[in-house]
Amino acid sequence: MSQRFGKTLVLDSAPSITSYSAYVGKKEGEGPLSRHFDHIYSDTSCGQESWEKAESLMQKECAANTLEKAKLNASDVQYIFAGDLLNQSISSTYGLREMDIPFIGLYGACSTMAESLGLGAVFVDAGAADNCLCVTSSHFCSAERQFRFPLEYGGQRTPTSQWTATAAGSAIVGKSKEAPFVRAVTFGAITDMGIKDISNMGAAMAPAAASTIKQYLDDTGSKPEQFDLILTGDLGELGGALLLDLLGRENIDISKQHSDCGLLLYDKDSQNVDAGGSGCGCSASVLCSYILTRVKENVLNNILFIATGALMSTVSVQQGETIPSVAHLIHISNTNR
């Protein structure tokens, strides 16, 4: 049973992440985390006829690999929690439609990995499931043409823009005595500080991350020093700086613990990603490879994973709206006590 402290759910049974997998594109495979991924596709189409189908395939293959690593069949998994950036979440629905597992579709933009892990952990903790499969993805080409410009147009990118990762991440939340454990979940409320620049997602999302992190620390009476890593995804360089500034105003200093998935996935200097990576697949693939392995190996003991989502659409932007954002937090630990 979960215990509620303010807006934070502390999961007494400490569900564990029993398997995880990350499938990424060529560019992501050339970045600093290269050797940690389960699969690197050699081209962005993944052999498919369209980028949308390529993204679906990434989710499908990544999810299948996660089950295989856990030695589970689809019938051992009670629920899929999945979503992505594409209109009507077609990467997830088409990618996972053949699994024959009850499907709970999500939309949290780039916060989806934390949203799905949080829901899966609550379900397992409550006894509503033994195993939940949590999946998300993004694809540079499908996202860019949906949200911004046709790729052929070759539009110039601003320095504040972030590079949508071509990647899928997937994890099974279940029960085992082995780390990593999900110890707590804080689902965030929507914040909207009036940012309108679609090429500055980091600034739009930083207030949501700050709000959810403060909420968790207040709820649990924890200090940043108790964590080896406070990992946001994906604020990039600008959003990350804003996050430190916003928390600083609340006398919370996470500068020693903070890192961002958008800065870990790529070599910013040589890979031309401007302010860093983004997209559901960015934080998902960084978490479901390098990070969870470091927890498993006891290199990291306690981490906070905060995935952030910008909740606009092309229509809302064209109608002059600001960009609402949300951030969900997961406390992951190498111990269940």
What is the binding site for its own copies (CB under 8 A)?
A: 1-2, 4, 7, 9, 49-50, 52-53, 78-79, 83, 85-90, 93-94, 96-97, 99-109, 115, 119, 122-123, 125-129, 146, 186-190, 192, 309, 311-316, 319, 321, 324, 326
- The CA R_g of the chain, rounded to the nearest whole Å, is 18
d(CA 307, CA 112): 7
d(CA 38, CA 129): 26
Least distance between its own copies and beta carbon 284 (Å): 16
Residues in the chain: 337
Q: Which residues are within 8 A (CB) of 28 and not within 5 positions of it... i.e. 6 or more apart?
A: 37, 40, 165, 166, 167, 265, 266, 285
Which pair of structure tokens corresponds to residue 120? 């899966």
Between 218 and 253, CB nearer to its own copies: 218
Least distance between its own copies and beta carbon 294 (Å): 28
3-state DSSP assignment of residue 259: strand
Phi, psi values for residue 15, rounded to 5°: -55, 150
Least distance between its own copies and beta carbon 127 (Å): 6
Between 59 and 289, CB nearer to its own copies: 59
3-state DSSP assignment of residue 53: helix
Least distance between its own copies and beta carbon 69 (Å): 22
Q: Which residues are within 8 A (CB) of 87 and not within 5 positions of it... i.e. 6 or more apart?
A: 146
Between 119 and 291, CB nearer to its own copies: 119
3-state DSSP assignment of residue 61: helix
d(CA 304, CA 328): 10
| Nearest residue to 302 via CA among 219, 222, 228, 217 | 228
d(CA 19, CA 133): 9
Between 33 and 129, CB nearer to its own copies: 129
Least distance between its own copies and beta carbon 35 (Å): 34
Cβ pair 286, 307 in contact under 8 A: no
Least distance between its own copies and beta carbon 317 (Å): 10
Least distance between its own copies and beta carbon 307 (Å): 12
3-state DSSP assignment of residue 44: coil
Least distance between its own copies and beta carbon 225 (Å): 26
Q: Which residues are within 8 A (CB) of 197 and not within 5 positions of it... i.e. 6 or more apart?
A: 160, 203, 204
Least distance between its own copies and beta carbon 88 (Å): 4
Between 40 and 104, CB nearer to its own copies: 104
Between 6 and 159, CB nearer to its own copies: 6
Between 86 and 230, CB nearer to its own copies: 86
Tokens 């679906």 locate to: 56
